[in-house]
Amino acid sequence: KTFNDILSIRGLSNEGIVKSADRITTIKTRVIGNNQHLLRIDEEVLSDISAEEEQEFIERVRSLMDTNVDAIILEDYNKGLLTPKVIESIISLANERQIPVTVDPKKDNFFAYKNVTLFKPNLKELKEGVGRSTLDVTDRNAFEEAVHELEAQLDNQITLVTLSEHGVFVKRDQGKHYIPAHIRNIADVSGAGDTVIAVATLCLAAGLEIEHIADIANLSGGLVCEVSGVVPIEANLLRKEIAKLQLA
């Protein structure tokens, strides 16, 4: 009820919410001192959802796809919702309807996200996924070999890798770009990856070229890091920064 109330106050749809009698809503309590993130305490259930809940959720997503959907983000946190069956079903349904699917992966189902439009791991997730623990982004040949390995298994269209202080890397077919990070006063990195995938998906749905997608997503991830806590990216601020840097 509380989460639905928050959505309502923010003017956000709750059409995709499926209630479970067997799970609590994940609650993350962050301990912050002197504007520094010290500790996070999570209250949650991590087991996979039941077969009945899988089917209910897939049907809910199917019904939403048949409305006016521009893109779908699969934001994986290993919380038990995105099971292999759910992942495969959503991607298949979206591809049938030619709806772009973007992914922010986690380790457990890393290679379940085959045939998606955009796949966005961070450098750590890429290293773990392809089994290259010593991979150094400054060795571009080795880094791009790792990206090639990833794409060979996933058959995705676009790869966007976030590289922390090194910015982002984006690749589609033979086109590739390294986008440097902007200088920022970092207060808290919480939510940066979520912001990057959200803005990248928005740009993709708007039909931007991959370099502009990476540029604007990279910018947005840096902007939210300047504020302590988990914050949304403000549209007006993003427009202002895009204009200032002449990114579009």
Nearest to 126 by CA among 140, 141, 106: 106
Distance between CA atoms of 145 and 122, rounded to whole angstroms? Answer: 16
**How many residues belong to the chain?**
248
Distance between CA atoms of 187 and 3, rounded to whole angstroms? Answer: 26
> CB under 8 Å to 7, separation ≥6 — which residues?
13, 14, 17
List 76, 104, 188, 194, catalytic entry: 194
Q: Max alpha carbon distance in the chain (Å)?
A: 51
CB 37 within 8 A of CB 54: no
Q: Is there a catalytic annotation at residue 194?
A: yes
Assign 248 to helix, strand or coil. Answer: coil
Provide the annotated active-site residues: 194
